[in-house]
Structure 1
Amino acid sequence: MSGIRALRNRFVDAPDSLGERFRAARWERFRSCFPAISKMRVVDLGGTADNWLRSPLRPRHVHLVNLEAHPAELPDWISAEIADVTDPNVPDALGQFDLVVSNSTIEHVGGPSQRRRFVTAIEKLAPLHWVQTPYRYFPVEPHFLAPGFQFLPLAAQVRLVRHWPLTHSRPANAEEAMDAVVNIELLTRAEMRHLFPRSVILGERVAGLTKSLTAVRTRP
């Protein structure tokens, strides 16, 4: 493993990384918000089987909805499908659940109209939700681990992402780099409050700074 890759692994990917410690703390906060999680049917928008298999929690059932392919083999308490919940026909076809979970997905669905469709789907699918997203004003952009990246002009982002050593998967060309940066729109606290007016907006803090925001509804 190269020195740069080892550095990213230390911060984000490894089992003993800072990122894994943040995820463990987030699961504990999640458990405190939904103590009856073991009895709940959960739909996870944008989630992965690996995330739940590594989780210390096990709901009654988890249904994964993602645009990417899922593993062929899943345990009997996890099901999955490829679908886009911003398509108005999809939420009705999915049915009803006890809880919607979505981690680091709403910032990828598109502009304001697509985010509104995403929230509409969440409201249809379950009376309770946990919707987490990185905070726009945290000084380090979380996808690329680049300080201040989200505040740069678009052209500068495209140039930087092709050479920045801590990028998870470095784009092969300018077109891939553009796709990588325009498909991420980090949200502010005001935007989350606007999208989820009946939810509590929790802040996850690191060194006194807000790192991520979570819209939580624990009661119908």
Structure 2
Amino acid sequence: MIPKIVKTVSPNFRAKRDELFRRLYGDLIAHGCTILDIGGEPYYWEKSLGSHAEFYRSCKITLLNPKQQQANLPNIICVAGDATDMREFADQSFDLVLSNAVIEHVGDFEQQRKMANNVQRVGRYYFLHSANYYFPIEPHSFFPFFNQLPLFMQYGIARVWPGQTHIPDFSPKSLEYIRTKVRLLKWREVKELFPRAKIEKEKLWGLNKSFIVHNAP
């Protein structure tokens, strides 16, 4: 029951996050700016540009993903690349860097540090979201306290429990997938990665569900 509730309310959090993004960076966007969305989907932006066309029409948007994607709008460019190694982008080459729940998927803490450093290097401003390690419902498996369980228990749960962390077998590949697919951040780690950022907490049931990291003026 509780995992279903979390899954149901998740889109509402995304909508509120989008509203906060437009409120914080509205002036910058309205005057036309360059946006890098790490992990951004063409469908999401085509939908946003449909419902907020006037707001974003002057922006040039670059989507960075591990695999090449295709967009159907002229002001969206899709690039294949690595969030932890953005050598193709010069310092301060974007007005705004955006990323929704990507930093938890890039690897261990050192890989997360590389992504954070690149975000702060290539963008004047940034707006990132990451789920909280200590929130009782893990947002990919939707299993209570999944993060805090020993690995052997995570493997067993992932084998029988539906969700993004489900595995078809106990092969070495599947076990490595569970071990490395998701690494959620703790508050102190977010502070370490983004020492000059403002960190806002998304709350559910009075608990910190996730963090929004930004450096809006």
TM-score of the superposed pair, with normalisation by structure 1: 0.84
Find the counterpart in structure 1 of residue 207 from structure 2.
209
Q: Secondary structure at the match of 2:85?
A: coil
Find the counterpart in structure 1 of residue 61 from structure 2.
62
Moved more, 199-208 or 170-179: 170-179
CA contact (8 A) 1:91 1:124 kept: no
1:96 to 69, 93, 97: 93
Find the counterpart in structure 1 of residue 166 from structure 2.
170
Is residue 25 from structure 1 mapped to residue 16 from structure 2 by the alignment?
Answer: yes
Q: Percent identity?
A: 29
Find the counterpart in structure 2 of residue 80 from structure 1.
78
**Cα pair distance change 1:99/1:179, threshold 3 Å:** same
Report deviation, 1:181: 4.0
- Aligned residue identity for 1:48: E
**Cα pair distance change 1:182/1:133, threshold 3 Å:** same
Counterpart Cα distance in 2 of 1:122 and 1:140: 28
Question: Which 5+ residue runs of structure 2 have no aligned equivalent?
Answer: none
- Aligned residue identity for 1:97: F
**Cα pair distance change 1:73/1:51, threshold 3 Å:** closer
- Aligned residue identity for 2:166: R
Counterpart Cα distance in 1 of 2:74 and 2:16: 27
Counterpart Cα distance in 2 of 1:147 and 1:169: 13
The number of equivalent residue pairs is: 206
Counterpart Cα distance in 2 of 1:212 and 1:73: 29
Q: Which consecutive segments of 4 or more residues in structure 1 shift more than 6 A?
A: none
Report deviation, 1:89: 2.4
Report deviation, 1:183: 2.1
Q: Secondary structure at the match of 1:27?
A: helix
Counterpart Cα distance in 1 of 2:79 and 2:182: 23
Report deviation, 1:25: 1.1
CA contact (8 A) 2:92 2:124 kept: no
CA contact (8 A) 1:91 1:121 kept: no
CA contact (8 A) 2:42 2:71 kept: no
**Cα pair distance change 1:188/1:169, threshold 3 Å:** closer
Report deviation, 1:143: 0.7
Report deviation, 1:82: 0.8
Counterpart Cα distance in 2 of 1:127 and 1:216: 11
Moved more, 58-67 or 174-183: 174-183
Find the counterpart in structure 2 of residue 49 from structure 1.
42
Q: Secondary structure at the match of 1:146?
A: coil
Alignment root-mean-square deviation, CA: 2.3
TM-score of the superposed pair, with normalisation by structure 2: 0.86
Matches within 5 A, 1:93-172: 96-165=93-162, 167-168=163-164, 170-172=166-168
